[in-house]
Amino acid sequence: MLPPDYATARSHLAVMEQATIRPKLFLDTSVCINVASEKIPCDEWRRVRQHVEANFSYQISFITLKELFAKVSRGKDDYFEENKKSLRVLCEFPQPGFLPYPPVFALRTVLGLPVARRSRLPFPEEERHETILKAVLQCSGKAQLKAGMPCPGRPWGVLSFDLDHFDRHENKAQAEHLSLLQRVRAGSVEMSSGTELASFLLRDCGQAHDTESCNKLANALEAAYKFSDNLSKMSNNNKEANLEKRETDWGDIMQLYYLCDESMHFLTYDKKCRNQVQSRMQQSRILLYRDLARLV
C-alpha cells in the first residue's frame, strides 16, 4: 500500500495530465534554497523542473521573492554572489509569470477588484518585481544596486533599489504577525473569523466590505485562514511554545492566499505547511517536493 502523501501526489498528477486548462505552479522558498545548496541533487531537480515546465504555467510568488531578497540583504558582502544562487533557481524556467502581493492577488482573482500596492515606480506590480529581480541578479553588490543600475526600455533609464530598506519594510508584517500571536496568548485579543479577515482586507484596500463579498473572499482564502487559526489555537493552548519560532509562518500563510485561484499549485519542501491546512480542495494543491520527485 502506498503512503498517503505519495498516493495523493500520484493521483493528483494523473488529474493534471487530463486537465484542459493549464494549471499554475509556484515554488516555495525552501525548494529554491535546497536546490541552490544542492541538498536537492542536480539530476533530480532537472527531472522535476522538466515536469513542471511540461505540465504547469510557472509563476514566481512575491513572498518567495521577498524571502530570497532578505537572504541576500542580510548576508555578508563576501557571500553576495553565493546568496543569489537561490534567486537564480527562480529564473531557470522560461517565461515566468510574476504574482503580486497575496492580498492584492486575492482581491483581483476572487472579486475582480482593480487593486494595487502603492509604489513610486509607475508600472504594474508584476513588472516591478521582474525588473528588480533582474537588477539584483546583474549587480555586483547592494551598494551598486542602491546607486543605480541601467534599466533598458524604461523612461528613466536607471533603477535604484535599496535591498536593506525593502527587507525592513516587508518584514514589518511578519513582526506584526508575531505580535498578534503573543497578544492571543495573553488573552488581549481573539482570532478573527474568516469573514472578519476578509472585511479587513477589503477595508485596507479602500473597498466596500459587504456581506456577499466578505463571504466569497473568506471561502476562497480557506487554506490561509485554517493555517492562521491553527497557529492561534497553538499559541493559546501551548503556553510553553516559543512563538518567535512561529514568526516566519506568516510567509506560509501569505503563500496560501494564492490558492484562491483554483488553478494554482504550491510546490513546497515543508510538510508542516500542508498538514496545517484543513481545506480539502486547497490542500490537494499543496504539492510536497519529495513526493513529486519520486514520481518523475
Quick one: angle between helices 222-237 and 163-186, nearest 10? 60
State how far the Cα of 139 lies from the Cα of 180, in Å rounded to an integer: 37
Number of domains in the chain: 1
Whether the CB-CB separation of 226 and 277 falls below 8 Å is answered with yes
Domain assignment of residue 140, given as a range: 4-295
Per-residue pLDDT tens, the chain, 296 aa: give them.
344 554 555 555 555 544 457 999 999 999 999 999 999 999 999 999 999 999 999 999 999 999 999 999 999 989 999 999 999 999 999 999 999 999 999 999 999 999 888 776 667 888 889 989 999 999 999 999 999 888 766 666 788 899 999 999 988 888 888 887 888 787 787 778 889 999 999 998 889 889 999 999 999 999 998 888 888 787 766 766 777 776 778 899 999 999 999 999 999 998 877 777 766 778 899 999 999 999 99
- Region of 112 (left: φ > 0; alpha: ψ -120 to 50; beta: rest) is left
Q: What is the pLDDT of residues 165-213, one digit of tens each?
A: 999 998 888 888 888 788 878 778 777 888 999 999 999 888 988 999 9
